[in-house]
Amino acid sequence: MKQAYDCLVIGAGPAGAVAARELAERGGRRVLVLERRNHVGGNTYDRFDAHGVLIHQYGPHIFHTNSLRVYEYLSRFTAWRPYEHQVVASIPEGEGRLEYPVPFNLVSLRRAFPPEDARRLEEKLTAAYGREKKVTILELRRNPDPEISALADYVYDHVFVRYTMKQWGQTPEEIDPNTTARVPVFLSEDCRYFQDEYQGMPLEGYTPLFQRMLDHPNITVELGADAGRRMRLENGAVLLDGEAFGGTVIYTGAADELFGCQFGRLPYRTLDFVFEAHPADFWQSHGTVNYTMDQDYTRITEFKYLTGQELPGVTTIAKEFSRAYTGAADEVPYYAVISPENNALYARYRAEADRYPDFHLLGRLAEYKYYNMDAIAARALELCDDLLK
């Protein structure tokens, strides 16, 4: 019997959606997308809550990229709301709290130190590294100048060490250095969280964006469809609903799950989001406030700042609590815990996947990487460039 589909895509998140659209549109392939959740968009999924506030169910997502290709590609499926994210650290001080920008920058420096000290430190820092330069906290701590080193210790203590312990259960020295390098000390007055050329929020949200992307005559999306129950990998062959499947398979789920975690579980961090609605237009000072010194949660995001939604008298916030992922059914593996040991374990799963012809691991889970949305979209486009050559 002739196969109904040329390609099978597992997961309707950003990776799966871009790949499905490319294969369907550019390649003219008939694509079946299996998504275990009851919605598309993966972790970018947004929806209106009971109070009518547009929230991000799996954590705050802000689009930013330097890739014109990615920006133009996504712009086919959405208009944008101009938005440049700003984050502050909230630090207990006396009876009250002090807030200053994160990444720690020259504005933060002036808020944290008396004017004369701030001026001297600014001169030293800019002489050592240059204006508008970014320096990672680990690099700054290696500076031999005692005053710079004392400042580095201050930033380490007030911004990094406790937040990182909450987020990863490890110190900044113990985790992959690329992780803290995402939030370097910035010798600038630029208080934006990202400096990318293209930044914004999809005007009507991420869910409509990915719904439009997947809306194509060659694409069939099945929701509530766990690939674990539909697809089997056996002796170098892919079986879909019990029949041999000869087409392209793109898998965007967790690599260990694909093989029943036979070599052991890949470590991930999961998050618990606690949503709260408040009877106010706005509840906090910025889109995201990081609790870098106290509290059990890492950060609080107030969605109306991000989405620009005009809804007087009510606002919804989300507190993020991080913990180790155990594999329980109600947990989501959000962050790969990148380390040489875990990467080696991942390589064993990848080697298993490589035994299957035309079978591709793509995405944050499947590649066990700390990808932002734009990097995922770029990866999906590149993979399809290769597949459609």
Give the interface with ligand UDP as residue ranges (CB under 6 A). 89, 102, 159-160, 163-164, 167, 179-180, 182-183, 290, 292
Nearest Cα neighbor of 63 from 164, 205, 163, 251 is: 205
Q: Does 14 bind ligand FAD (CB under 6 A)?
A: yes
Please identify which residue in 29, 37, 166, 299 interacts with ligand FAD, judged by CB under 6 A.
37
DSSP tag of 156: I
> Nearer Cβ to ligand UDP, position 135 or 225?
135
**DSSP 3-state assignment of 153?**
helix
> Nearer Cβ to ligand FAD, position 233 or 365?
365
The continuous run of DSSP H or E covering 300 comes out as strand 299-302
CB of 72 to ligand UDP, least distance (A): 25
Please choose which of ligand UDP, ligand FAD, none residue 387 contacts, taking the beta carbon within 5 to 8 angstroms, the exact cut-off set by kind: none
Q: How far apart are CA 353 and CA 249, in angstroms?
A: 11
Please identify which residue in 12, 102, 250, 381 interacts with ligand FAD, judged by CB under 6 A.
12
CB of 168 to ligand UDP, least distance (A): 6
**What DSSP line would sit under 322-359, residue for residue?**
EEE----TT----EE---HHHHHHHHHHHHHHHTSTTE
CB of 370 to ligand FAD, least distance (A): 8
Place of tokens 């400042």: 151
Q: Are 376 and 69 in contact (CB under 8 A)?
A: no
What order of strands is seen across the sheet that includes strand 80-81?
63-65, 198-202, 80-81
Please choose which of ligand UDP, ligand FAD, none residue 36 contacts, taking the beta carbon within 5 to 8 angstroms, the exact cut-off set by kind: ligand FAD
Q: Does 227 bind ligand FAD (CB under 6 A)?
A: yes
CB of 340 to ligand FAD, least distance (A): 23
Q: How far apart are CA 257 and CA 343, in angstroms?
A: 16
Q: What angle do CA 267, 273, 277 make, to 5 degrees?
A: 175
Q: Does 364 bind ligand FAD (CB under 6 A)?
A: yes
Q: Which long-range contacts (CB under 8 A, 24 or more apart) does 243-247 make?
A: 245/3, 245/8, 246/3, 247/3, 247/5, 247/6, 247/7, 247/8, 247/29, 247/358
> Nearer Cβ to ligand FAD, position 61 or 141?
61
Give me the amino acid identity at 319.
Answer: K
Q: Which stretch binds ligand FAD (CB under 6 A): 59-67, 161-169, 179-187, 214-222?
A: 59-67
> Nearer Cβ to ligand FAD, position 259 or 282?
259
CB of 137 to ligand UDP, least distance (A): 8
Q: Does 383 bind ligand FAD (CB under 6 A)?
A: no
List contacts with ligand FAD (CB under 6 A).
Answer: 10-16, 34-37, 42-44, 59-62, 226-228, 252-253, 271, 334, 363-365, 371-374, 376
